Amino acid sequence: MDSIDIQILKLLQENARTTASEIASRVNLSVPAISERLKKLDSSGIIQKYTIILCARKLKKNLVANMFVSLKHPNYIEGFVTLVQKENEIIECSYLAGDYDYLIKIITEDMESLEKILNRIKTVPGVQKTKIIVTLSTIKNTYSITP
């Protein structure tokens, strides 16, 4: 990866719909050269996905919360992970070292829907304790790393 690849990645991070032609004009390369670089970035796995980012508030998802979850024993991981994968409002789940086993990010409509999610999580066998932190506002939300 060189400085041109980094420029290409930054342009795509700003707008994944940027065409090869637009990128070519911005980095002073030909369209075929850009297309070849994009193929290499895709095939190498550096680019994982092209996607869109939806505005949660415009879709009536006004509540963001982080939930810490502790399991009684690693034998319960599979059941917990199965529930997490099924819940559309859980947008992120990280396995942790420390006092809790998982950190879940939830974006949902309101406190009532958060309570329902919490209750579903608490019914998973092996869930020992949970802790919820509600987000009042988001200062920074970057969706990808800087190349």
What backbone torsions phi and psi does residue 5 show, to the nearest 5 degrees?
A: -60, -40
Q: Does residue 92 belong to any structural domain of this protein?
A: yes
**Domain tally for the chain?**
2
Residue 87 lies in a domain: yes
Q: What is the pLDDT of residue 146?
A: 87
- Is the same domain home to 62 and 107? yes
Q: What confidence score (pLDDT) does residue 144 get?
A: 87
Q: Could you list the mean pLDDT of each consecutive 10-residue stretch along the chain, which spans 147 residues?
A: 95 94 96 97 95 92 97 97 97 97 98 97 96 95 88
Q: Same domain for 34 and 103?
A: no
Range of the domain at 90: 57-135
Q: Residue 9: what pLDDT?
A: 96
Q: How many beta carbons lie within 10 A of that of residue 51, not counting itself?
A: 9
137-to-86, 88, 133, 140 alpha-carbon distances in Å: 26, 21, 12, 9
CATH number of the domain at 21, please: 1.10.10.10
Longest pairwise C-alpha distance within the chain: 58
The confidence score (pLDDT) of residue 113 equals 97
What pLDDT is attached to residue 109?
97
> What is the per-residue pLDDT for 135?
96
Q: What is the pLDDT of residue 122?
A: 96
Q: What is the DSSP letter of 119?
A: H
Q: Are residues 61 and 129 in the same domain?
A: yes
